[in-house]
Every structure is written in C-alpha cells, then in structure tokens.
Structure 1
Amino acid sequence: MKDFETLGLVPDLLTSLSEAGLETPTPIQAKAIPLALSGRDVMGLAQTGTGKTLAFGLPLIQQLTGTGRPRPKTVKALVLAPTRELVNQIADNLRVHTKGTKLKVSTVVGGQSINRQVAMLERGADILVATPGRLIDLMDRGAVDLSTARYLVLDEADQMLDMGFIHALRRIAPELGTPRQTMLFSATMPSQMDELSRAYLDDPVRVQVTPPGKAADKVTQEVHFVEQSDKPAKLREILDSEPGALTLVFARTKHGAERLMKGLVADGYDAASIHGNKSQGQRDRAIAAFRQGTVPILVATDVAARGIDIPGVAFVVNYDLPNVPEAYVHRIGRTARAGREGTAVAFCSSEETGLLRDIEKVMKIEIPVASGEMFKGPLQRPKMGGGKRGGGRPQGQKPKGQKPRGAAPKGPSKSAKRPQQRHRVRRRAA
C-alpha cells in the first residue's frame, strides 16, 4: 500500500495528515490524488466511508495554496453536495488541512440566514462548499461570481441526480470559468451518470475501487420479514439487544420519522430526529448529541444518508426500505466506517418485497434472513409517502421475537446473540 508521501503532496499537507492520525491513504485516495494533482478530470467511484472527501480535497488545497486572496464575491473552487449535512461535513474535513494556510473554506446551505451568507461572500472564498439550491439563490442576488472558479467538484453526484439537482447543475456549471478541472465522486453508478460525465467532464479518468452498489466489507447485513404494524415492536427488540449502541434508524417520510421518534421517547428511549421539516439548528444539535452519545438513537429520512460521518455508529436500521435501491447502499454506509464493524438491519413488510428485490439486484447479493419468511404473492411496492402507519409506539404491544423460518440462516442472527438488556432511561419523578 502506498503512503501519502508517494502521492506528490507537499510537506505542509503531509504534516497535517500526520497530525490528524492519517498515515496511509485509502484506495480511492491513492488512485485519485495523483490524477487530480496532474490536472486531469476524475470520475471516482467508491463506497461510502472510504475517504472520498480527501481524494479531491487534498489536491484542491495543494493547487490553491499560494494563489493569493480571492477578490470580493469571487470563488476559486466550487464543491457541490446534495445536503446541508454533507456540505458541513466536507467543509469540516477540509478545514483540518487548511489550518496554517491563508485558504478560506466557506459554506452556503439552505435553512440559514441568506443575508449572512451574502455578507460572507463579500470577502470572497477560496473553496466554496454549497448545496445547489441555495447557491442559485445567491447567484440570483448577484452575491457570488463563479467566473473565476477553475475547479468544480460534484460530490455524491448520484444523489444529486436522485434529488433532481441536474437542472440546478445545468444552471450553475456554465457560470464557472474555463478551462477548469472537474471531479465527480459517487458511491453508485446509475444510468444517468455517464450522461452527466460526458456533459461536464473533459476526457475524465475513471477511478473505481469497488463495484458500484457494493457495501463496505465489514457491514453485516440482515433482513427481518415483518408486517408494518409489527415494526415498532421489532425495532424495540433490536434496540434492547445492545443498550447504548449508536443506532441510526431510517424512515421513508418526514412525518413517519417524527412519529417514530416521538413513540420511542414516549417509551423511555433517548431518541432524536432529523428530516426536512427540522431547522438547520435543530438538525445540527441532534447530530451533535448523537455523535457524543448523549442521544444514542437518531431517526432520519434520507436527508442524513450521506451527511453523517460518525465512526461509532453500530447499527443502521432500515425501518422503511427506500424507494430508490441505491439509497440503501448509502444508508448502510453510515456504519462500519473507518475500519470498524457494523450491522445493517432491514425490515421488509409485505408491501416492500419489490423494494427488497430491487436492492438485492443492485447490490448483487441476497441479504441473509434473520427472522420471518418472504411474503408470498406478487412483488409489491409501497405507494410514495409510506402509508399511514409510519411507526409510532406499538399500541399496547409487547415486543414479539420471531423465530427464523423458511429461508432463515442456521443459528441466531448477530443481533440475537447479544444479551437481551433493557435500553430505557428512568423517568424523572413528577
């Protein structure tokens, strides 16, 4: 395995990497960094949690160092990401390695004061990390000039396609300066990605370190066949199997996520939620509490699938299976990060059998069955919106364990082997 010194990085960056405890590049970093430093357009494909941010971030920092201060309202490099959480995560990672330099990393996202962002951009930015929607708002106000930007990075480009940001990209890209270097990074390879690369990259080098749609090697996956009405009890059974473990629970809708979180809190669990109806401040506080472990259960919609980089997440629970199969890959990528192990648990109701088969087709695997049986009959898919039963507390039900049947593997599942302890907090006396 190469080390960072062989990749052509300058001594200041090598020092910052060492201080951050990073000595050996990940496969995507080892392949992408030399190409990016040479000026080539890069199309990088790698699973989540493999260090894609530094694969483009380190070359950007090195190439921008010593280029002088940006003029008012101008930008030298633009990084686009689909969610607020991911924008903040990218900026935080870049700032670790711009300490001691004059480079300024700025962010613009929705849900925050646009007037403050206008004032911030008056001073210009070396690297601007942005969500497409808010960036266009600022462009419409004449608050930012992209004509001086010579670097463009599209991070998690597949999710930007899923979220409809292709139209925003068509508006933004022509405003950047030319010639420019463009880098595109993604964990999956939907059919539109080739079209995207042809439109915005110039003779790109494709760097792929894992097959698109493949999960991290240390993620243990399992599926429980359980009807929607029985999911609350099954979730509590999983939570009680390892009290205190950081657990990220994915729901399909905003209302379903909020209802599920409130049901857990009513039953004495420490839980928080993040979704599109939450303000940026609320989302930031929930993620901070989850990161610190003071709130070990975080219920989220897919807004969090690519914006949480917390190595200690032990469980990812797909309470509702995603409508887009690639989203499953990103969800479970929130565990088994930084070389750790993790467990991805999926609940599949009779309405979701078609979604499960879509996921297995994309991942080219058959997810091991931990309990229940595959529902008979034609494959079904839930209607958009997730139905009325999003997952509140189980109305007077006791958790019901299900013995493996049919296609279930021999022996108990990983979660079943853990001691059955209670994961509840004592309520304070009134």
Structure 2
Amino acid sequence: MDAFKLLTRSTRFSKSATAPAAESTARLPSTGKAANPQLFRTAAGEKLESEKNKKKRKRGAAAAEEDGENDAAELDFFQSSKRSAAAKAESSAPAKGDEEHTSDQDDESDEEDEMDEVERRTILNSHKIKVTDLRDLDEIQPQPAATTDSKKKKKKQKKEETPVLSKKEQKRARRVYPQPLTSFKELRTRYKISSRLAENVAEQGFTVPTEVQLGTLPLLLGDSSVSKSNEEPDLLVVAPTGSGKTLSFLVPVINKIVRHHHSSQSDEHGILSIIVAPTKELASQIVNEGRKLVAGTGVKITLMKKGMRVVERDDENEANVLDEDSEASGSDDEEDDDDKPKKASSNVPVTKSDILVTTPLQLVNALSEHQTKPMAKLPLVRSLVLDEADVLLDPLFREQTLDIWRSCIHPDLRVSLWSATMGSNIDDLTRSTIKERQADIGQTSTTQHPLVRLVVGLKDSAIPNIEHKLVYAATEQGKLLGLRQLLRPAAATASDVRLRPPFLIFTQTIPRAIALHSELKYDIPAEAGGSSRIAVLHSDLSDTQRSEIMRDFRKGEIWILVTTDLLARGVDFRGINGVVNYDIPNSAAVYVHRVGRTGRAGREGGIAVTYYTKEDIPYVKSIANIIDVSEKLRGTEGEKSIQKWLLDSLPDLSKKNKKELKKHGVKARQVSKQVGEGKEGDGKGLRRMRISTKSGFERRMENRRKGAIEASRSRKANEEERGGDVSDAGSWNGLQD
C-alpha cells in the first residue's frame, strides 16, 4: 500500500473547504444554522431597515449624552455600577413631576420610531407579507354619527349616491399595513413585553425575525394600524413551513398571562390559554419550546395527558353531596364497591397550569368525561390557538375543535389560526363561528373586535429554498430500486439525485410503512449500525415507543425514518437533509407539509424526492404545479425539473376524485379486506402493489421451499406421535370370530 496516499487521505477535505464552489454544492441542512432565516427579501426593504437602524443608533447616542442613559430598556452587562445603580434608583422611586416628563419622552421616542404608511408598505411588500381585514366594509370604515333631523336626508343620499366598489377597490380598502418588527429588541423597547421573557427570547439566539414573526408579533402585541385602541385581533396566519410560527404565537400568549398575573385579577387561578395541535408529537414539541420561553416568568405550560382534570364541574359537587347522604343513610356493599372508582376519579386534583397544550380528542374527553356528560365550560380562557388549523377544522376533527371553541365563554377571548395551507372555507367557518359564539355570550356587533388574515408569500405554496424532484418509477419495484439507490449517496442515479441521511420516507398507509421498513431493514451495513439506523413510526405504536423513536431520531442514532402522514405537519427536525415521498400525498396541501420537514428556518440544501408510478399519473398534476410555482419563486427558471410539456400532458382531476383521494389515497394502495376471497383482479392488484424487488418466479420458488419444509416437519411430527401406538400394538393377529 502506498504510504503517501495513506497519509494524504485526510487532506482531501481541506481542498473542498478552500474552494467556495465545492462548499456551496456540498451544503446540507444538517451542517448547521441558517445565516438568514428569512425566505423573502428585496433590496428596497433592506435599505429601509438599515436606515431605520442607523437612525435608532444616532438617537440612542444623543439621548445617552443628554440624559446619561440609553432609551432602550435592554440589558447592558458592560455599563458601570454607578450608572446602573442610579438607573435603578430613578426607576424604583420616580418623582411625581418626572412621571409626566418621562411619559412624554417615551411618546416622543415612539413617534420617532413610527413609520409612515409608505415605509410600512415597502417593507411588508418586500417580504411578501399581505395583511387583510376580513370584517365588513362598514365596520372597517365606520361613518360619522348623524343627527335625528338629518337622518332621513342622509338615507336618501345613500340610496342615490352609494357607489358600488369593484373587487380591486374592496381589496385595497381591506388591506392593512402594520408596523413591521425589524428586530427582536423592539419587543422590549416598543411593545414593553416582560423583561424575563425578552431575556429568554435572546438566550434562544433569535436576532432577525422571520417574515411571519415580522408581521404577526406587532398585531398580537398591540398595533394601532388595525384598531386605534391597540386591541388584539382574531388572526388567521398562512405562512410557509419552518418559518417560526410557534414562536409567533407563544410570545404574545406568555406575555398576556404575565400581565394578567400582575394585574388586579391575579386571584383567578386556572387555564388562561389553550393551544390545540392535531398530533401528540406536535403538542409535545410546542410544550418543549414553551418551557424555554416561560423560564423565570411564573407561567406554567402543561401537556395534556390521560386522566387529567381540566376544570371543576358543578354536577361533581352534587354527586359528592349525594354520595355523602347515601353513606350516612347506609347503603349496600355492592353499591359502595361500584362507587369507589367514581370517587377516585373525582378526587384527582384539577391541573394548575396557565397554558394547556392538547390534542382535540383528549380535551373533549376531559371536558365531557368521555362524552358521558355535557361539555364543561372554560370561563378563564382568553387565548385559543389552533396550530395546523386546516386539519383541526377538517371534517375529521371539526366537531371536536368547535366544541372546544364554544366551551371558552370568556368575553375577551381571542382566537388565532396557524397553518402553511388554509383554504377560503376556513375564513368563512371562522367568521360564522365567531358570530355564533358572540350571539351565545350576548355580545353585540358593536363590540366585535377585528378579524385579520396574514399571508406570507404565495398562499398554499411550498418553500422556495429546497430542491424538488419528481421521478417516474413505473412500478412499485422501480420505486424500491430508486429508493435503494438513494441509500448510497456516492452512486449517481438516473435522475441525478443524491440524498444523504438523515431523511424521512412517507408512505400512504401503516401496513405499507411496516412493509417498507422490513424491506430496507438490512440495507445499511453492520459496520454503520445496521438495522438500528432505520425505524418506522406510526399511530399504532404506543406513546412510549413513539417518544423513544423521536428522541433517537433527533439525537442522530436513527438515520432513516419511515412514517405516515403522522409526522407530515408541524414537527421540527432542524437537521433533515431531505424527504422522500415513496407514495404520492393525498393532496397538494399534504405535499406542502411533507416537504416542509426539510429546509427549516431558511436552511438551503434540502431535497424533496417524489416517486410516482403508472397508477399515480391521474393524481400528479397538483403536485407538479406546486413544484413549478416553488421553482419560480426560487428563480431557477433555467433549471426547471417540471417542464411545460409535462404539465400540459398530465390530466386534470375532478372535484369528486380529489375528495376521494383526500379521504382514502390512491385506490390501488388501499388496504383491501377482500384478500383470500378468490378474486383474481384483487390478487393481481395486491401482487403489483407489494413492496418488494423479487420477481414472481423467485417468490414461487420460496413458497415451494417453505411448503416442503413445513410438510416434512408435519410428517415427522405425525410419525413421532404414531411411533408409540405401533410399538404397543405388536403384530397382526388376523381376523377374529
């Protein structure tokens, strides 16, 4: 062996490190944090933000020279002890005459920080943020109150002079331009959030806000552009996957609870905010992120679990009184034994938490005692957050979600709905639900607060910072061969796709996920970890198994995770290099959420590979359109993977077929219950859809070998059983009379 080659083998990485071109091609999402978490930026917006920051620095220096202290209320670890002590003394005991002076200075600084509408519009448009007021035009632009004498005249004038606005004019009238959040430091200086909460945000390393944070945080923390009274609106948010929506709704919710604790109503104890998520994995992730932000604030966030009591019911007190009366009068032993488990369940203490994160069914079961009693009310809840709202308001979860919504009876309740995909039916359903709830509570239309929708980028589109590949594999065996080539990143495939672990593989059903996992189980060599590097995750597993698999995957002990759409929404894996759609998704929205598991927080280098076969051709066009739009946003018109001839040749799908695909998936891959009934068509279809690369002849020969082995074993067992009877019987004695 050449010693020079052996010694210089490790130096080959230094060459690629010095070459910028090689470094850019080898960049992966798992290599580290993204330099810029923002997906959409233009030069005009950057100029305005930089100019604003320069003005802030100049004004801060001038104020420091005049007053001897910074106007920004942020931590300064390098200031002198004398100055900090003086600042503490001034802040702790201000004079009465100075209070007005300081308030005037704060108002002046806020006025200097205020942008005019042109600047706000420029920054929001540069980040592709669109804010719309969904209320009626009469509520958005109220007319001045008229006197009794001139009412009749104005009514006639309205009938004669009421101009009919066009659709474009109505859209312009509904547009809102709130002041954007250019830096997380403004959370403390401008919006006066809790100092401890601001420190927790800074400790997490958040410096530059993403688009959704830039637009939603000012709205939820109080912005005068929507309502003059700085009233918090009901909010619908459509933002790309991995853009920081969790932080956007956690910070206002926590700050609202901190203010409530410091107010005069601090005697009220109970659940003040509820966050609803469709899966347990997403709910536990929200709790983990929330615990980092609530540290030291006095706010408690809890994950909903089985057997947890959320609220005290009035009928429970009546039941306890009846039990005491029956015990005093004397009852049978059998009745006492039957009542013991009920008493034990009622003795479970009510959870002492400010924020409750739950799935819909768990909270509905807790409020209705597994649907045996009417829903209990939640009188203290002031914030209701629906994460992945399009799923929660889908027919599968709709009734449960609406039951939770109606059980929150506080008049100051605010609702926020968040997702990467949201249809227009969600807007109509939100409006109708808000009006129904206000009618039940007794609120009038005059007390209705704003309903605002914020959209980042193009609605229902995939993130532009990942690479999409649509690969035709013809058959199921072709898909499995292509997937095995992806497991070997050094080998170039027909589509020139190179994907390195860790990555996710999505299938249509649980049986297909299990079958694919068993097929790929031993493809990774034992030197690299073998079968322990591949795992399968689905809803049939227990909670402990699911949490262990998620923990090992986040640690890097599992490289490839085969799963269903259970992990398609909301779950944040920061180091995922790619996503493989082994089975095409049931809808375009599911595709957006699946591929959004990679390219989180603006990271580049993620790859989304989608295999489709002959049976999938009628359902591919919606996915191809999303890929085409994403590539246009990315600006790679010369390197398009979806050609125009392919879009023109793919068939359109009817509404009926779209609904069937969304409910059941591709028919050919559905779990058939007619196995073994002797139908030739079903048998052929099952053989075609089987996840395996073995031919029919090889499987026939394996079945014959298995049958021969089983037959020989059964013959041996029968001979052993008959052996004792033959020895005892002896020889044949002939016929007897």
TM-score interval, smaller chain = 0.7 to 0.9
Give the equivalent residue in structure 1 for 2:201. 17
- Cα separation, 2, equivalents of 1:115 and 1:275: 25
What residue in structure 2 maps to residue 192 of structure 1? Answer: 425
**Is 2:358 the counterpart of 1:130?**
yes
**Are residues 155 and 392 of structure 1, via their aligned partners in 2, closer, same or farther at CA, if it must alter by over 3 Å?**
same
Contact in 1 for aligned 2:465/2:603 (Cα 8 Å) = yes
Counterpart of 1:231 in structure 2 is 479
Alignment-derived partner of residue 285 in structure 1:
548
Instruction: Indicate which of 235, 239, 264 corresponds to 2:520.
Output: 264
Q: Is the 8 A contact 2:386 2:416 kept in 1?
A: yes
Deviation of 1:216 (Å): 1.7
Superimposed CA distance per residue, residues 265-284 of structure 1 (whole angstroms, 9 cap, x where no aligned partner): 14345211111111121111
Relative to 1, partners in 2 of residues 1:198 and 1:127: Cα closer, same or farther, differing over 3 Å? same
Give the superposition deviation at 1:14: 2.0
Match of 2:413 in 1: 180
Offset of residue 20 of structure 1: 0.8
Structure 2 equivalent of residue 75 of structure 1: 271
Deviation sequence 1:225-284 (CA, Å, 0-9, x none): 012232111111112116862110000101111111121114345211111111121111
**1:353–1:379 CA contact under 8 A, matched in 2:** no
How far apart are 1:163 and its partner, in Å? 6.1
Q: Does the C-alpha gap of structure 1 residues 163 and 258 become closer, same or farther in structure 2, counting only changes over 3 Å?
A: farther
Aligned mates of 1:121, 1:239 — CA distance in 2: 51
Q: Is the 8 A contact 1:250 1:318 kept in 2?
A: yes
> How many pairs align?
392
Query: Which shifted more, 328-337 or 186-195?
Result: 186-195
Give the secondary structure class of the aligned counterpart of 1:67. Answer: helix
Structure 1: 5+ residue stretches without partners: 398-430
Q: 1:364: Cα distance to partner?
A: 5.6
Whether contact under 8 Å (2:390, 2:423) holds in the other structure is yes
Q: Structure 1, residues 286-326: CA drift from partner, whole Å, max 9, x if none?
A: 11111111110011111101142111000100000111220
Q: Which amino acid aligns with 1:240?
A: R
Counterpart among 197, 203, 219 of residue 466 in structure 2: 219
Change (3 A) 1:81 1:102: same
TM-score if structure 2 supplies the norm length? 0.50
**Distance apart, 1:209 and its partner CA:** 1.3
Deviation at 1:385, TM superposition (A): 4.9
Separation in 2, partners of 1:395, 1:65: 62
Counterpart of 2:74 in structure 1 is: none
Does residue 254 of structure 1 match 2:438?
A: no
Say whether the 8 Å CA contact 1:231–1:391 is kept in structure 2: no
Give yes or no for the alignment of 1:105 onto 2:301: yes
Comparing both structures, which one devotes a greater share of its residues to strand? 1
More divergent stretch after superposition (237-246 vs 32-41): 237-246
Aligned residue for 1:218, secondary structure, equals: coil
Q: Note the aligned Cα RMSD (angstroms).
A: 3.0
Letter in 1 for 2:288: D
The superposition leaves residues 208-235 of structure 1 with CA deviations (integer Å, 9 ceiling, x where unpaired) of: 1111222222110011101223211111
1:313 paired with 2:313, answer no
Letter aligned with residue 320 of structure 1: D
Q: Is the 8 A contact 2:479 2:611 kept in 1?
A: yes
**Alpha-carbon distance between aligned partners in 2 of 1:90 and 1:121, rounded to the nearest angstrom:** 24
Amino acid at match of 1:290: F
8 A Cα contact 2:393 2:401, kept in partner = no
Which moved further from structure 2: 190-199 or 48-57?
Answer: 190-199
Q: Deviations over 1:320-378 (max 9, x none)?
A: 0111220000000000112222000000111112222122345663885599x979896
Tell me, in whole angstroms, the C-alpha distance in 2 between the residues paired with 1:37 and 1:46: 19
Under a length normalisation based on structure 1, what TM-score does the superposition of the two structures give? Answer: 0.83
The structure whose residues are more often helix, as a share, is: 2
Which residue identity lines up with residue 413 of structure 2 in the other structure? R
1:52-71 superposed matches below 5 A: 52-68=245-261
Q: Distance in 2 between matches of 1:289 and 1:70?
A: 43
- Whether the 8 Å CA contact 1:267–1:393 is kept in 2: the answer is no
Tell me the secondary structure at the aligned position of residue 207 of structure 1: strand
Question: Which secondary structure does the structure 2 equivalent of 1:124 belong to?
Answer: coil
Maintained 8 Å contact 2:582/2:611: yes
Matching residue within 685, 689, 694 for 1:395: 694
Q: Which aligned pairs between 1:406-417 and structure 2 lie closer than 5 A?
A: none
Aligned-partner SS, 2:617: helix
SS at match of 2:602: coil
Which residue, 188, 194, 204 being the options, matches 2:451? 204
For 1:93-115, what per-residue CA distance to the aligned partner results, in whole angstroms no more than 9, with x for missing partners? 11110001211111126xxx435
Per-residue deviation at 1:169?
1.7
Structure 1 CA distance for aligned equivalents of residues 348 and 258 of structure 2: 21
2:403 to 162, 171, 174: 171
> Is 1:160–2:392 an aligned residue pair?
yes
Task: Please say if residues 183 and 207 of structure 2, whose CA atoms lie closer than 8 Å, have aligned partners that are also in contact.
Answer: yes
CA distance in 1, matches of 2:256, 2:304: 22
Alpha-carbon distance in 2 for matches of 1:370, 1:360 = 7
2:535 aligned counterpart, secondary structure: strand
Q: 1:258 to 1:120 in 2, by over 3 A?
A: farther
Kindly indicate whether structure 1 or structure 2 has the higher relative contact order, using CA contacts under 8 Å at least 6 residues apart. 1
Shift in Å, 1:170: 2.0
Identity %: 31
Q: Which amino acid aligns with 1:236?
A: R
| 8 Å contact kept, 1:244–1:296 | no
Q: What is the aligned counterpart of 2:667 among 380, 383, 402?
A: 383
Separation of aligned partners in 2, 1:223 and 1:322: 13
Partner of 1:409: none
Number of the residue aligned with 2:286: 90
- Counterpart Cα distance in 2 of 1:121 and 1:70: 19
Change (3 A) 1:307 1:30: closer
Higher Cα Rg, which structure: 2
Question: 2 CA distance for matches of 1:145 and 1:4?
Answer: 37
Asked whether 1:36 is paired with 2:220, we answer: yes
The amino acid of 1:224's aligned partner reads V
Q: For the Cα contact (< 8 Å) 2:534–2:558, is it kept in 1?
A: yes
